[in-house]
Amino acid sequence: MSISQKGAVAQLLIFSGVLAGWLALFITNGTVFFWLDDGMKMAFYLIAGTGFALLVLMNAMISFFGRGNKPVSDERDKTIWRKASLWATGASYSVVVALLLVLSITYMEQDSTVVSVYFPLFIVLVGGVTLVLTQSIAALIYYNRQVHHEEN
């Protein structure tokens, strides 16, 4: 398994943890309306922030320590991550659009024109987590399938 592939596994584990943490929050709170409670809100941001901080730390460690003078990744890894990123962008965009639609419909039904300031950050975080989770899953799938270099 290449370092790049191990990175995909680590990324999947970290953000599965983030997702599990969020799920635990919702179950504990009994509702997804966590922004009504300051403690829950901060816990939600803290879980996501920890996930992204670990991702940055992991990538920094790979860049600094790598494999000495040998390449950490090559054209195959780059092709795989590019393809995975395309899937991740599509999935993340779809989730963000779906959340915005739900938000709009919910507020329209309530005849409200004021939206909580915490919604945009919530949607951005969910979109970001969807992006990195989908990217790692797609990368691991591509690592086990036949891949053609993009110029071919």
Q: How far is the CB of 4 from another protein (least distance, A)?
A: 8
Q: Tell me: does residue 77 bind another protein (CB under 8 A).
A: yes
Is residue 146 within the footprint of another protein (CB under 8 A)? yes
Scanning 32-40, 73-81, 109-117, 121-129 for contacts with another protein by CB under 8 A, the matching segment is 73-81
Fill in the amino acid letter for 104: S
The amino acid present at 151, given as its one-letter code, is E
Q: Exposed, middle or buried by CB within 10 Å (0-12, 13-18, 19+), for 92?
A: buried
**Looking at 49, 71, 90, 120, which residue binds another protein (CB under 8 A)?**
71
Note whether 56 binds another protein by CB under 8 A.
no
- CA–CA gap between residue 105 and residue 94 (Å, rounded): 16
Task: Report which secondary-structure segment, H or E, holds 35.
Answer: none
Our finding on whether 20 is near another protein (CB under 8 A) is no
Q: DSSP assignment of 28-86, as one string?
A: HHTSS-GGGSHHHHHHHHHHHHHHHHHHHHHHHHHHHHTBTTB-S--HHHHHHHHHHHH
**Nearest distance in Å: CB 136, another protein:** 17
Q: How far is Cα 40 from Cα 28, in angstroms, rounded to an integer? A: 10
Pick out residues in 106-145 that bind another protein (CB under 8 A): 145
Handedness of CA 132, 20, 31, 28 (dihedral sign): negative
Binding segment for another protein (CB under 8 A), chosen from 12-20, 52-60, 72-80, 115-123, is: 72-80
Identity of the residue, 63 or 146, whose beta carbon is nearer to another protein in the bound complex:
146
Pick 77 or 95: Cβ nearer another protein: 77
81 binds another protein (CB under 8 A): no
Residue 152: DSSP 8-state: -
Instruction: Name the site residues for another protein (rule: CB under 8 A).
Output: 1-2, 4-5, 70-71, 73-77, 145-149, 151-152
